[in-house]
């Protein structure tokens, strides 16, 4: 179970900085948009088909967003690990190297 969900309201996902976004935020957005669409099709029965069409286009857009967010956070994570590895390596080399330029 999560302990770090600061604000429970899924609506806040829409206010986030795109570069801080996680896939969880994308799922929250899905929920929020889904609720709105459901409200529309309940109140305006005549346009259900149009709303449904739009709904699945939005699903597609969010799937794309999910993939991109996932990929970019993975890439960042990889780069961070690589950077930390290199840092460690550098420190090790500096320590081990005989103090050549005394």
Partner 1 sequence: LNIPRKEKDFQGMLEYKKEDEPKLIKNLILDLKPRGVAVNLIPGLPAYILFMCVRHADYLNDDQKVRSLLTSTINGIKKILKKRGDDFETVSFWLSNTCRFLHCLKQYSGEEGFMKHNSTRQNEHCLTNFDLAEYRQVLSDLAIQIYQQLVRVLENILQPMIVSGMLEHETIQGVSGVKPTGLRKRTSSIADEGTYTLDSIVRQLNTFHSIMCQHGTDPELIKQVVKQMFYIIGAVTLNNLLLRKDMCSWSKGMQIRYNVSQLEEWLRDKNLMNSGAKETLEPLIQAAQLLQVKKKTDEDAEAICSMCNALTTAQIVKVLNLYTPVNEFEERVLVSFIRNIQMRLRDRKDAPQLLMDAKHIFPVTFPFNPSSLALETIQIPGSLSLGFISRV
Interface residues with partner 1 (CB under 8 A) are: 1-3, 5-8, 10, 24, 26-28, 30-31, 33-34, 37, 41-42, 45, 48-49, 52-53, 55-56, 58-60, 62-63, 65-66
Least CB distance to partner 1 at residue 96 (A): 41
As a whole number of Å, the CA-based R_g of the chain is 23
Instruction: Considering the complex, state which of residue 6 and residue 101 has its C-beta at the smaller distance from partner 1.
Output: 6
Tokens 């109140």 label which residue? Answer: 43
* Whole-angstrom distance, CA of residue 16 vs CA of residue 25: 8
* Whole-angstrom distance, CA of residue 94 vs CA of residue 77: 26
Instruction: Considering the complex, state which of residue 39 and residue 87 has its C-beta at the smaller distance from partner 1.
Output: 39
């Amino acid at each position: 179970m999560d302990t770090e969900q600061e604000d429970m309201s899924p609506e806040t996902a829409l206010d986030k900085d795109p570069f801080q976004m996680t896939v969880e935020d994308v799922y929250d957005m899905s929920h929020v948009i889904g609720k709105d669409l459901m409200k529309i099709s309940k109140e305006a029965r005549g346009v259900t088909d149009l709303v449904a069409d739009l709904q699945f286009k939005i699903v597609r857009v969010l799937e794309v967003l999910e993939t991109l967010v996932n990929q970019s956070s993975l890439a960042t994570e990889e780069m961070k690990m690589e950077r930390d590895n290199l840092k460690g390596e550098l420190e090790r080399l500096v320590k081990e190297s005989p103090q050549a330029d005394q």
